[in-house]
Structures are given as C-alpha cells and as structure tokens.
Structure 1
C-alpha cells in the first residue's frame, strides 16, 4: 500500500525532485529499464528515501498523475470561466494542454504502457482512482454555474461524461506532433460548442428514447 504523502514543504520538494528525475529517466531509457535505484541516483537521494516517498515505479507515476491534476486545477481556478458551458469546457481543456506541455514527449513514450488494460498505470485502473476523481471534480466544478440546462439525468452524469471526453482529448494530444499541439487546440475549440449543443438538446423529449438507454449503458459499464 502507498505510504501517506509528506505534508512538509521539504517533503513535497523531495517528492517533486524524485518525480522529475523519474520522468527524465523514463524518457531516456524507457519505463521498464529504469530502476528505483537509478531514479534515486538521478534525484540525488538515497534508495531508501526514494522508497519512503514511492513504494514502486508505478506508485511514482501515480504521483505524477496527481501532480498534473493539481497543476490543472490551479490553472483552471486562475482562468476566468465565463458563463457558457462551451467557454468553460474550452478553457478547461486548453488549460490542460498548457500545463501538460512540458511532458508531451514523455506522454507519447509512456502511452504504450498506460494503454495496457491490466496496467495499474491505466487511467481507468483502481490505482489511478485518486487522479481520476481529482479530474472528475474539475469537470463537476465546470458544470456548476454554467449557463446551460439539460436533461436531469444527463446533467447528473455530465462530469463523468466530460471526463471521458477529456480522455479522448488526451489521447489525441499524445499523438499530436503539430507545433505546440495546435491541432489539439483546434479540436478543443471546434468541439466546445458541440458539447454545449448536445447538452441543451438533451431537454427535448423525443430524444429520451435514445439518450436514456445510452446513459444506462454507460452506467452498467462503469459498475
């Protein structure tokens, strides 16, 4: 089981130092060939100290996931949200692209491991639950206060649905080799109005025979 995370400023600095060292080595040598001993050496800490903060390489990557979510949340909170869901969703996704930009090369090389269904590093794994919940909370806060009305069932499920859409954006971002990932930014800008339009249209009663079975299926697959 992961140890409790350090709460002191010095502990957080050491933790971040180990994560940065690990990311450099993962990018240089690959995840499989990188050892905790090598990470400790790169970070300038003892092997025992590295294991104190992270019990395994997988736990270390989970720490990276949570760090990215914290950066994303901070950037979203610093950015004016606007009233419409389209503006809020676009702002939120562009904020992710900005904070994740320094890790784009790492993300591309790491994708093959994280995409393995049985990997604890999959964003859908139990081990990734804290980072997934943190991201879903960002989506929930995005919906609250947005100037859009939709079907009640859809609105209740919307944070989770937006997180799934976010995963699609992340997958596109991983494979995006355009300068500054401009193609991903274009995808976000073009998709944002569609997200709001779909939510608004969900209020139409004739769409319920299609909408509700889709929501039922998503709920079944989550359980």
Structure 2
C-alpha cells in the first residue's frame, strides 16, 4: 500500500535528522555539510534542502528532539511526586538522560552554539521554540509542587531553573567521568541547595534581598 505523502515526508525528515546526528558524531558539526548529510541518507541535496534549508534548521530539530525526550522521561515522575526538590531532581536527571546519546559530538557542537551570533545559540530567536518547551517542563515542576514558594519568585522560577539546567548541560558537555558520574553528583548536590534557597526565600528577613535579586534578573533579561 502506498504511504500518504505526509507520512512519507515525516519519514524523510526523520531520516535526515538521524543521518545528521550520526555524521555530527563521526565528523563533527563544522565538517558536516548538508550535501554530505543528503548523500549519506541516500537523498538528492535538493530533497534535503527542501526539508531543512540549512544546518541551523537541523539544529533546531535536534533541540526539539531532546526536549520531547526530556518531557517523556520526566512525565511519569511529575505525575506522582509533589515535593519541589524531588520534582526538580527528576527533571534535571531526565534532561541529562535525554542528552546522553549525543555526548560524543556535544563538545564540538557547543563551540558553535556558544557563539552569541549563532542561530544555534540557546538564547537565539531561532531557538525560542525549544527554549519554550524546556521552560514549560520546569513550569510544570514548579506548578505541580505542593511546597510553598514565594509568589514573586514562583513567577520567574521556571526560567531560573532552565538557566540552572543550562549550567548542568555545560558541565555535562565536558564531563569525561565514567557514566557521567560527576554530572550526576552535580545534580544530586545542587538540587538540595536550590530547594533550600527556594524555601529560605519565604522568610520575611530575606524578602528584601530576594526582591532585589529578582529585580536585577528582570532588568537583565529585558
């Protein structure tokens, strides 16, 4: 039976993405061209360019794939856990797990993504869809927690947790320990600290400092 065009198109897209991920790992991001990806996938270059006009567009699909895997990995934990620290630990651990298949080329890729002018930069306009997906995961972490959180902090906490996850990601990129054990240690030790700071933010004596810190964060992000 002949496949519908939409289904064939989706299979072709996935073939291109899978091929690109493999070549990035074998050759590095910078040395892998769209023509090489098309050839390795058994496609005409024009066909590959039809779905992805550039490698930057491929990278956004790569980001989206990671966020989908992150969401799927953490969802069962968020469905049964209500403590903020437990939910955050599950989210950060699931994020690392979702990235692990790409560790082989993550270092080379990061050098490109770290360029502020690159469309692959996680803060770029092009990365906004994946960034929104990631922040939505942490919004669920916060929103489903029964732990009392300062209302003003709660508003921006998902964004702050996303930034913390970026820090974990950077550490993971350069982690060469067996099984990424040092990254696991970072998450295990950092989450209780974040949990404690979130709890302390409710104290009346610390509210002025918390408000000042949040004001600074808003000023920097705008």
For Structure 1 versus Structure 2, the TM-score category normalised by the shorter chain is: over 0.9
C-alpha deviation, 1:81, in angstroms: 4.4
Whether the aligned pair in 1 keeps the contact of 2:25 and 2:102 (CA below 8 Å) is: no
CA pair 111-163 structure 1, distance change in 2 beyond 3 A: same
> What's the C-alpha RMSD, in Å, of the aligned pairs?
1.5
Gaps of 5+ in 2: none
Separation (CA, whole Å) in 1 of partners of 2:163 and 2:91: 14
- Count of matched residue positions in the alignment of Structure 1 and Structure 2: 217
Residue 20 (structure 1) aligns with: 18
Q: Provide the rounded CA distance (Å) in 1 between the counterparts of 2:150 and 2:82.
A: 19
Give the CA deviation at 1:39: 0.6
Distance 1:200 1:11 in 2: 49
Task: Report if the CA contact (8 A) 2:38-2:48 is conserved.
Answer: yes
Deviation at 1:32, TM superposition (A): 2.6
Gaps of 5+ in 1: 1-6
Does structure 1 retain, via aligned residues, the 8 Å contact 2:29–2:105?
no
| 1:158 partnered with 2:150 | no
Find the counterpart in structure 2 of residue 121 from structure 1: 120
- Using the size of structure 1 for normalisation, the TM-score is 0.92
Q: Distance in 2 between matches of 1:176 and 1:81?
A: 31
- 1:36 aligns with 34
Contact 1:81-1:91 within 8 A present in 2 as well = no
In 1, Cα distance between the equivalents of 2:207 and 2:103? 40
| Structure-2 separation of matches of 1:81 and 1:177 | 33
2:139 paired with 1:148: no
Q: TM-score, normalised on structure 2?
A: 0.92
